[in-house]
Chains A and B, each alone.
Chain A
């Protein structure tokens, strides 16, 4: 069964802390994505990667960075967490790119920044 695993389901961090959100997929997919989901705003794309060491900005990259050193792993980094980054973070992967690709999502990481 295909799987996207996010390292933490719930995190509580303090303002200014560096936060790592890890995502691993076991489907050998080229494409990986980070979204954040907020009430009333839906899902918004933060960053995506279509190959190892490659990354592209999504719609809301400010305050975030990403790392893809291995094909199966895509990390989202909050260099200095702020309260407005309290959100649900969803990782996804796909075999095909663009709108042709079915996205497989992890269970989400709910981050609270105090």
Chain B
């Protein structure tokens, strides 16, 4: 079962535009993570944001977290063709007495040159 759900499922923009992806989750979290996956490859960690943080930056990436709405957003500014990938949010879920990361289904981003 999914904990986080990304929105939209697919997003197509022009190079230079900003891309915003959203993640909603159902139960309280300790941390939320964002990952990127190039086609046919493994996932790469982008950012971890803790439940007591509201915003975090890494280069052209900006992640916000609103625990009252149980949602997070990933903003990529000044997008490039190389940003074309799928982006996943991941949150913790109790499984067998311990917390494990559960991934959403992802947003497929296409940046057109």
Contact = CB atoms under 8 A, between A and B. Distances in A.
Interface stretch (A12-20, A41-49, A66-74, A75-83): A41-49
A13 to B, nearest CB: 19
Interface residues of A, number: 30
Interface stretch (B11-19, B37-45, B54-62, B67-75): B37-45
Contacts of B104: 42
State the main secondary structure of chain B at its contact with A.
strand
B10 to A, nearest CB: 12
Interface string B80-113: 0000000010111001101111111110000000
Nearest to A105: B42
A98 B98 contact: yes
A84 interface: no
Interface in A85-110: 88, 90, 92, 97-108, 110
Contacts of A92: 42-43
Given A40-B105, A41-B105, A42-B106, A97 B95 contact: no
A105 B45 CA distance: 9
A53 interface: no
Interface residues of B, number: 30
Nearest to B30: A99
A98 B100 CA distance: 5
Nearest to B99: A98
B35 to A, nearest CB: 8
Contact of A99 (B1, B44, B88, B99): B99
A4 B48 CA distance: 20
A97 B48 contact: no
A41 B43 CA distance: 16
B78 interface: no
Nearest to B5: A42
Nearest to B44: A105
Nearest to B101: A99
Contacts of B20: none
Given A56-B95, A98-B30, 5 more contacts: A42-B2, A45-B101, A99-B90, A102-B48, A106-B42
16 contacts: A4-B42, A43-B103, A45-B101, A58-B100, A97-B99, A98-B98, A99-B30, A99-B33, A99-B90, A99-B101, A100-B31, A100-B48, A102-B45, A102-B48, A103-B90, A108-B40
